[in-house]
Structure 1
Amino acid sequence: MTFSLSIGPLVSLIAGILILVMPRLLSTIVALYLIIMGILGLLGMHNLRF
């Protein structure tokens, strides 16, 4: 059985959980998510898998 994990969905899941747990940090979490996804997109690593 092969298990692969993409970075984009993993970051989205972590951001969603943090927003549920700490809703006051919504703007910070969204900003960090956008920065991370933007950097990964520019570097061509949006399909990076583990």
Structure 2
Amino acid sequence: MYQGEDEQRTIDNAISNLIPVCASCHRVIHRARPPYQMEEVKDFYQAQLDSSI
């Protein structure tokens, strides 16, 4: 599939793009097609916190 440096660059990019999330956040992220971006999910949760105050 990839040869040499391109393969390593692809792996490095993929690892740097990973963000660990809990199961609940993972479920929210994948509710949309394409999946929500992490900033959108943060905004959802912040809005929930703000509305409950």
TM range (shorter): 0.3 to 0.5
Q: Which structure is richer in relative contact order (CA contacts within 8 A, separation 6 or more)? A: 1
TM-score by length of 2: 0.34
- Structure having the larger proportion of residues in helix: 1
TM-score by length of 1: 0.36
